[in-house]
Amino acid sequence: MTAIRDSNLDNTQTVAAVRFLGRLLRSITPITGALICGSAVAVPMVGTLVYDVKFGHPTSTSGLVIPFAFIFGACGAAVGAFLGLVAREVVDRKGWAGPPDRRLVAIIMLLAIGIPTAVGAQSVRRREAAHAPRVVQTTAELERGDGVSDLVPRQSATFLWDSWPRPDRPVQPLQWNGRLVTVTAADRLRVHTDGRLVAEIDIGRYPYANAIYGVTARLRGESAEWLALLLQLRWNSERDLLVILDPQGSIVHEEVLERNYRTRLPPRVGLETAGSPDAPQEFVVDRGDPIRFRSK
């Protein structure tokens, strides 16, 4: 008797599965297939863009998402229409003819649009979290303070690197402890002195750098110089990256800075030293909210 009941239960489940498959295939017509697949491609792309504009910092090319959404959406609709034709052929052969289940179509559309849109919004949230203004790493060697320096400004930063080199804006030489400094920035920031790599840091998680400025200072009033680099990131990211190296080339501070346009326009360079050369100096960073760094 138990075997008979189990057999009847299996048959009932099989019949229910077949009926559901029939409802599903009847609901995937060329029209509904085109609507579902086209919307599943186009709507999440536009939705992610809207979320990025509202809560993130989209790139200058983000507007291209809209025409591409129409193009890819049309391709998705074509694929969906083809799948609808295939589903109709299966329905005719199996004898599952009947009207489409509108509720099932609505559920499929909701899942096809909602899940990719949520994934896209989450990717924007993860990217913005990586770009959030914060001290990424630091050491006990430095003292960080808000506000302008009490020392007399001495030297402005040198223009070291440009993402789009131009003859009318050449880079300038910078000496660091008697050695010529060169920098490059792609997925990694690399600092060379006289052709020898002295420091390297992963910057692939940040918006791309447009320009790099650098300046040296004697934070302890001795002959050894420290090096501060300001990476001005993509203009509409509203972020910059500050990296400070000790005289041996070790990274002692890395910080994501926010450009504060609410009170006043930050200086074009925004990085300089303060203090006389025969006394402890400071680095001063000003991207709208001045910050100073001195040795402890």
Q: Are residues 78 and 64 in the same domain?
A: yes
Q: How many domains does the chain have?
A: 2
Mean pLDDT lowest for which of 14-23, 24-33, 140-149, 182-191? 14-23
pLDDT interval class at 268 (50, 70, 90): low
* Whether residue 169 sits in one domain with residue 206: yes
Q: Which structural domain range is residue 150 located in?
A: 134-295
Round to whole Å and give the CA distance between 214 and 191. 11
**Pair 274, 149: CB distance under 8 Å:** yes
Domain boundary among 78, 108, 130: 130
Judgement on whether residues 29 and 140 belong to the same structural domain of the protein: no
pLDDT (mean) for 23-28: 81
C-alpha distance from residue 205 to each of 63, 99, 111, 132, 233 (Å): 22, 51, 30, 11, 12
Q: Tell whether 34 and 97 lie within a shared domain.
A: yes
More confident residue, 233 or 23: 233
Q: What is the largest CA-CA distance in the chain?
A: 100
Model pTM score: 0.78
Residue with tokens 């809560």: 55
Q: What is the per-residue pLDDT across 204-244, written as a single tens digit (0 to 9) for each?
A: 888 889 999 999 999 987 778 999 999 999 888 889 999 99
Q: Say if residue 280 is in the same domain as residue 145.
A: yes
Which residue, of 130, 160, 176, is where some domain finishes?
Answer: 130
pLDDT (tens digit per residue) in 179-210: 999 999 988 999 999 989 999 999 988 888 99
- Give residue 94's pLDDT: 76
Q: Does 64 share its domain with 151?
A: no
Residues 203, 93, single domain; the answer is no
Last residue of one domain, picked from the residues 130, 163, 178? 130
118 and 258 share a domain? Answer: no
Q: Are 215 and 175 in the same domain? A: yes
User: Residues 32, 102: one domain?
Assistant: yes
How many of the other CB atoms lie within 10 Å of CB of 55?
11
Could you tell me which residue, 3 or 232, shows the higher pLDDT?
A: 232
Query: Could you tell me if 119 and 164 lie in one domain?
Result: no
- Domain co-membership, 269 together with 185: yes
Tell me if residue 278 falls in helix, strand or coil: coil
